[in-house]
Amino acid sequence: MHYWMLSFVILILLIPYVSSLKCYVCNSNEDPTCADSDNLGKFVKQCPQREDPYCRKIVQRVDQETSIVRTCGSKVGTKLCYKTAGTHTASVCSCDEELCNTAVTYNVQQRFMTILSSITTLIITMILLR
């Protein structure tokens, strides 16, 4: 009985890692309001369900023209942000919280608290199941 309860708790803790995510999905070349972080409401989309879902914001510069692409994606590599250089430059940032691809912000404290509370719940459950 105790193992079933522990398995259930672990399953509940893993659900956020295989779930869908809402992100802003748009391209400022197609709709200029995509570049305005304060007016993104019409671009909210439910991303496809996948492992390690991420929202992504890409700022591209080509021939002195800047465009912004906001999209859904999967985790690629270990860097949350990176830049490319050359005649076509891009700044790419990914995040894994609801509608997080507005500006480039990451709430490390919130992520830490989520992980800490999950670990605490697991420890308490293991103690209670003894």
pLDDT digits (tens, 9 = 90+) for 3-56: 555 555 454 555 544 457 999 999 999 999 999 999 999 999 999 988 788 999
CATH of domain 22-107: 2.10.60.10
Burial class (CB in 10 A: 0-12, 13-18, 19+), 103: exposed
pLDDT computed for residue 41 by the predictor: 95
Give this prediction's pTM: 0.64
**Mean pLDDT on 80-95:** 90
pLDDT computed for residue 107 by the predictor: 46
Q: Which sequence spans correspond to the domains of the chain?
A: 22-107
Q: How far apart are the first and last CA of the chain?
A: 11
Q: Between residues 42 and 115, which one has the greater pLDDT?
A: 42
Q: Which residue from 69, 83, 79, 61 is spatially nearest to 24, judged by alpha carbons?
A: 69
For 9-25, give one letter per residue: b (16+ CB within 10 A) or e.
beeeeeeeeeeebbbbb
